[in-house]
Homo-oligomer: A and B are copies of this chain.
Amino acid sequence: MDPIAEVKMYEDSGDLLPLMVGGPGPDTLQNCKEIFTKATASVLETETDPTQAFRYADEQGDQEYRDQLAKFLSNEYKDIVTSSELMVTAGATQGLHFLASLLFHKHKVAFVEDPTYYAAHTMLRYDLEMKVVPVPTDADGIDTNVLDKLLSEHRPKSFTVTPEQPFWAMIYVIPVFNNPAGQCYSKERCCDLVRHARQHDILVVAEDIYNLVYYGENIPKRLLAYDNKSHPDYMGNVVSNCTFSKILAPGLRLGWLEAPERVLCVLKKSNVSWSAGSLNHYASKLAAAALKLGLQQKHVQTVRQIYKNRMTFMCETLRKGLPPGATFTQPQGGFFVWVKLPEAVDALHLLRMAAKKYKISFLPGFCTSPSGGYKNYVRLSISFCNQATLSKGLDAFCSALRDFIPGDTE
């Protein structure tokens, strides 16, 4: 069986305790009933013309949605977000697919972190048939020295910037609370990346979907803020691709792009947009109402605290339970702990055994690696299970690992 298909099989299995899944579970979705009851009433009862919520809507997204969102994000980011730079999407997956297929689908190059989000590099490579080039990462983020060489190597000699094709390649990155690695890019790395993007005419697509799930005092600055408009070299080389999936409800399939005008105008002028209008209008009206009523703001505080507690708990449990040779760094936000196992351990083999004997699932590192590396890593998620279930799952994981590493049983 194809290893990816095998991982999907474990992911879909209802019999396994899911340390694999990177989405909110029943506990952090509990308040959605109240939120959506109130938001629906607000849209249907208090709007002057409730039929507006059911029509084809503006390609860029409903004005009220973008206004409410801009206000919310400005407050959360402690930075200015303007509604004219926001565009509605049907979630971050659709956002990435839409953007990549419109701006880059002609066998163009997508540079990606190694490791990265598993379904993104496979989507770019297989669904969109882009040329995916892995770039190594370290604790500070993507290796911009290697990137610089790769950019010079891959740039087509014939390329010149036009309004329709402002970029010859994209870089897909997760600079804040990286999936799977958990780290944030250093300030220097962010500056470097933006500089390279400007210099080499490439678009950086930053997936900023965990930013609001931070556990420290302050929210890390999103990459887009480093692409400073007042800088003399500013052209608009960074897009922030975001979603309500982690901070509200993935079932909503709602997100947004924050993007410079030269990117937005290509998206808005697309025939997909011409045909569909707003990519998820009714859902965006509900989200706008949840923001207007302050429900989203309250909810993100609540779930942030829950995830923070779980993350602390997971890391404490792992520190006690992991056998020697297994290491990790505690992330300051997001959903994942990225555990490095001894070199000899193939995490897919471990998963097979753990699924069978301990009835748990987790993500083996190879899925996240466009170069086929990270075989001895696993990604454990705090997002779906509550603390009691996590506790069982982590005990099982540590036991599986001890079984698996020869000579390491106590």
Contacts and interface: CB of A to CB of B under 8 A. Distances in A.
A251 B270 CA distance: 18
B37 A51 contact: no
A55 B280 contact: no
A330 interface: no
Interface in A81-122: 90-91, 93-94, 97, 101-102, 105-106, 117, 119-120, 122
Given A44-B37, A94-B90, A253 B271 contact: no
Interface residues of A, number: 63
A79 to B, nearest CB: 28
A162 interface: no
Nearest to A23: B56
A70 interface: no
A281 interface: yes
Given A26-B49, A128-B105, A252-B282, A271 B54 contact: no
A128 to B, nearest CB: 7
Contact of A278 (B25, B105, B128, B251): B251
Contact of A55 (B5, B102, B251): B251
B251 A127 contact: no
A57 interface: yes
A97 B281 contact: no
A87 to B, nearest CB: 15
B102 A129 contact: no
A355 B119 CA distance: 47
15 contacts: A24-B55, A26-B51, A32-B54, A36-B40, A36-B44, A36-B54, A40-B40, A56-B251, A90-B90, A90-B280, A119-B274, A123-B275, A127-B271, A249-B282, A252-B282
Interface of A: 5, 8, 21, 23-26, 29-30, 32-33, 36-37, 40, 44, 49-51, 53-57, 90-91, 93-94, 97, 101-102, 105-106, 117, 119-120, 122-123, 126-129, 245, 248-253, 269-272, 274-283, 285
